[in-house]
Structure 1
Amino acid sequence: MEKEVLRSRQIGGPAVTSLLWLIFIAGAATNSIGGFTGLDHTFGMIAGGIAVVCLVILVVRFAARNKD
C-alpha cells in the first residue's frame, strides 16, 4: 500500500511520462525521416539528441519508480 502512495506522488506523474513519450517519438521520427525528406543534417541530429535525452529521462524515472 505504501509503495502505491509513493508512486502517485512522483513528480509530474503519468502526464509527464506521456509527454516524454510523445516528444521521444516525434524526435525519433523526425531524425529517421529527415534523411529521406531532405531536412538539414543539423536539424535531424538535434531531433535525435532530443529523443535520446527523453529516453534517458524515461529510463531514470522507471528505475526510480521501481527502486526497492
Structure 2
Amino acid sequence: METSRSRQAGGPAVTTLLGLFFVAGAATNSIGGFTGLDPMFRMTSGAIAVACLLILIVRFVLRRKDERRC
C-alpha cells in the first residue's frame, strides 16, 4: 500500500511544468542573441533550462528504477 517516493514528489503535472520551463528557458536563451537581450538574462534563462533538463532526466531514471523493482 505504500506509494513510491517518485509518485509522491509529483506526477504528470510536475513533469509538464518542468518541460514547459525547459522549453521557455531554452527559447529565451537562443532567441535572445538575435533580439539583443541582456547577456545576464540569457545566461540565467539558459541555466534554468539546464536545471529543468537535469531534473527531468533524474525523474525519468528514478521512475525507471521503480518500475523495474515491481
Residue 43 of structure 2 corresponds to 45
In structure 1, stretches of 5+ residues that fail to align are none
- Seen in structure 2, the aligned counterparts of structure 1 residues 44 and 26 have a Cα distance that, compared at 3 Å, is same
Cα RMSD over matched residues?
Answer: 1.8
How many residue pairs get matched? 64
Residue 22 of structure 1 corresponds to 20
- Name the SS for the 2:9 alignment partner: coil
Q: How many Å separate the matches in 1 of 2:7 and 2:41?
A: 36
Q: How many Å separate the matches in 1 of 2:7 and 2:53?
A: 21
**Deviation >6 Å, runs of 4+:** none
TM-score (normalised: structure 1): 0.86
In structure 2, stretches of 5+ residues that fail to align are none
